[in-house]
Amino acid sequence: MRFSIQREVLLKPLQQVVGVVERRQTLPVLANLLVVAGPKQVTFTGTDLEVEMSATTTADGIEPGETTIPARKLFDICRALPDGSKVEFKLNGDRMSVSSARSRFTLATLPAAEFPVIDNIELAERVSLPEATLKGLMDRTAFAMAQQDVRYYLNGLLLDLREKTLRCVATDGHRLALVETDLTSGVAAQRQILIPRKGVLELQGLFEMGDGAVDLEFGRNHLRVKRGDVTFTSKLIDGRFPDYEAVVPIGADKEVRVTRESLRGALQRAAILSNEKYRGVKLEIGPNKLRIIAHNPEQEEAVEELEARTGVTELSVGFNVNYLLDALNALGGEEVLMCLRDGNSSCLLRAPDSEAARHVIMPLRL
């Protein structure tokens, strides 16, 4: 096995696949990348048994073969080489020689046969959509995923496919983010799949705001995403996601319309004096005004008052200020509409003229 490749050409696929390799592994081979040299190209694959990423690139002087090389060491070596270097790989027995100009490194390898590759998935559905659209959906919802929650089905992102619509939904039990987009081609049957947290983070790092399309292939237990020369495969969470539509408040007829940037600035300032543990702020809504009040155990207080378009005569409700700020950052647009029912109900945030993106935040007792 032998091939040579420019450093810059090599770095991109290595960056894409090395992220899935865990620093602590149960199996020694999981610290390695599978390197497969074919007739015209070389494929690098990393996995942690849950998530797998493969990237393919062209190379020169290829002698076909396959082996596994320590992932982090190879990445660090290539990153440290000078710009414009040509890197040559040659397998000698169980050692891989990596050389460039006057630099030479010898890395230990493990047999390719020991590397656990996710088999071909049993394809149930395929959807294609613009890369920028999918990245936008994930970026505007993924922040609401739970982290290491005992309710394991919350530690991920839901893709809900229905006819010609794709919804991304995430919740940690205290807030919910829902964004939807139209699909050019419909799906045969309604389908819900749960992508684990690590898979979502890897996809967010992989996607760019490009014009190209990505293919989503759904199997019974796996999701496969194909983008150019990169293939991402993830196991799915085997669990039932909550009935998220029941969380969106019904009859929230008390509406407050406010400039998004002014509300965001006021919340950021009030947050400075909020309780560091609970991060609570109180919203007091009156005729055409919104007051934001924060207290902390040191008896300090912050009060912000904003102009707002609302017919509410009097309403007071508390929320976690970080949750409000996350939702405002994800919404975009010039104005935001806050929909409430009473002082004990959740708050629905969305753009005034669209329900494509909706954020629900549970109240906080202050």
Q: Please name each of the domains of the chain with its CATH number.
A: 2-114 (3.10.150.10), 123-245 (3.10.150.10), 248-361 (3.10.150.10)
Percent of the chain scoring above 70 in pLDDT: 100
Using pLDDT thresholds of 50, 70 and 90, give the confidence band for residue 134.
very high
Residue 155 contacts by C-beta under 8 Å, 6 or more apart in sequence? 145, 146, 147, 148, 149, 196, 197, 237
What integer pLDDT is reported at residue 230 of this predicted model? 94
Phi and psi, residue 302, nearest 5°: -125, 135
**Nearest partner of 233 among 58, 14, 23, 17, judged by Cα:** 17
**pLDDT value, residue 122:** 80
Considering only residues 25 and 108, tell me which one the structure prediction assigns the higher pLDDT: 108
As a whole number, mean pLDDT of residues 6-35 equals 93
What pLDDT shows up at residue 184?
85
Lowest mean pLDDT among 55-69, 119-133, 226-240: 119-133
* β-pair partners for 158: 169, 194
pLDDT tens digits, one per residue of 251-298: 889 999 999 999 999 999 999 999 999 999 999 999 999 999 999 999
- Say yes or no to pLDDT of 237 above 90: yes
Residue 97, pLDDT above cutoff 90? yes
Quote the percentage of the chain above a pLDDT of 90. Answer: 84
Contact (CB, 8 A) for 51 and 199: yes
* Per-residue model confidence as pLDDT tens digits over 155-179: 999 999 988 899 999 999 999 999 9
Rounded Cα gap, residues 220 and 100, in angstroms = 45
Q: What is the pLDDT averaged over residues 224-234?
A: 93
Q: Is the separation of the CB atoms in 260 and 334 below 8 Å?
A: yes
Strand order in the sheet with 2-6: 60-63, 2-6, 86-92, 95-100, 103-108
pTM attached to this predicted model: 0.90
- Looking at residue 44, what is its pLDDT? 97
Residues 307-326 have pLDDT tens digits of 999 989 999 999 999 999 99
Question: Taking all residues of the chain, what is their mean pLDDT, rounded to a whole number?
Answer: 94
**Tokens 């996350």 appear where?**
326
Name the range with the highest mean pLDDT among 54-58, 203-207, 250-254: 54-58
Is the pLDDT score of 36 beyond 90?
yes
- Sheet containing 165-171: order of strands: 191-196, 156-162, 165-171, 175-182, 357-361, 347-350, 335-340, 254-259, 309-310
CB 248 within 8 A of CB 358: yes
In tens, the pLDDT along 178-203 reads 999 999 887 878 899 999 999 999 99
* C-alpha span between 275 and 177 (Å, rounded): 24
pLDDT band of 2, cuts 50, 70, 90: very high
The pLDDT of residue 366 is above 80: no
